[in-house]
Structure 1
Amino acid sequence: MLKNLGPYAFGFGYPMPVLMVATYNDDGTVNVMNLHEAMRTNAGDLALCIGPRSKTHANVEKRRAFTVALVNQDLLAQVDYWGSVSGRNVPDKFERTGAKAVKSQFVDAPIIEGSPLVIECQLVEIAHGTNFSTVLARIVNVAADASVLDQSGRVDSLKTGMILYDPFGTSYVSLGQRVGTAWGEGKKFM
């Protein structure tokens, strides 16, 4: 039997990948934030939920480009810090962690070194909400480290070591095991 937990138990939703959203500041330095509210649309775009008062939001509006990268355990401490402080209040928060970045060859945004998978994006539009904006972006390129590819050259999510944010326990968890094949498990009912 299900136990009713009330409307606020859902909090920030269900476990989602922890992502880094990286942009350039006006002076060319790197700004990065921790984000776990993003999804791919059916049209193939990327939709992110970003607070309109954040430095990242301002940079995306100005530069019209950004990168989104998966986080693994090697980057967890840095990403947790980047999500704990604002780039408006701590403009050198990226540099303080000792992390490194290189310029994307496809968009005007940095790629944070160490991530196993990076999505390079160009802004399409921003839908402004009360507390958050939906940032809609066209995916220009996806780059992956060879170590996370399977034999056919596709990304193997279990090899990425991606971290998920668990809002129910306010913790970070790792991706588990493969438990089935999409569009295959239900064939027994066909």
Structure 2
Amino acid sequence: MHDKVALVDYGAGNLKSVENALFAAGATQVLVTSDPETVVSADRILLPGVGAFGACMNALSGIDGMVEALEQAVLKNARPFLGICVGMQLMADHGEELGSHKGLGWIDGVVKLIEPTDPSVKVPHMGWNDVVPTTPHPLIVAGEAYFLHSFAVTGVPDQHVLATTDHGGSIIAAIGRDNMIGAQFHPEKSQAYGLAFLKRFLEWQP
């Protein structure tokens, strides 16, 4: 696995944990970068994310040329792309966390507060939970992963929902189309399941 993997640094992700997990999964070249040119030249791209949707989108947009570089690499050059947690949520049209904020718009969907049907179920959704595949995809298998989020992507077309989980109701756990995939769970915190997921991403030829 000698591909050059760009791990986008926009001040909103647990970069060291993700970097370490990528190396443990077999990556040999991980570039933690806020340089748009490095992103465009990468073979694979990861967009992590921790925090509020609007703040993350503002931070990403605040790096001159970064959104354009991601669009060039992912949409035009069809490089394999993985969004993690808020990095997945940013793939949607917009988010409703602390106001209404425009996302990247790569997959139809809206990020909304989790509202469990059972009042005893607490938000945030935190801890281990099942990943249940819904649409066949080479990266998604059944298992348990680690989640930590209060908002979730909703309104995604069925063909782009790859997996769900349950937390007082069904929650989208993974989305994707073409050369891009998003995981609401944290593979870097999901031990063997997460490392196997990242290994499949590193080997993926969409």
Shorter-chain TM range is: under 0.3
**TM-score normalised to structure 1 length:** 0.26
Q: Which has more helix, going by share of residues?
A: 2
What TM-score do you get using the length of structure 2 for normalisation?
0.25
Higher relative contact order (CA 8 A, sep 6+): 1
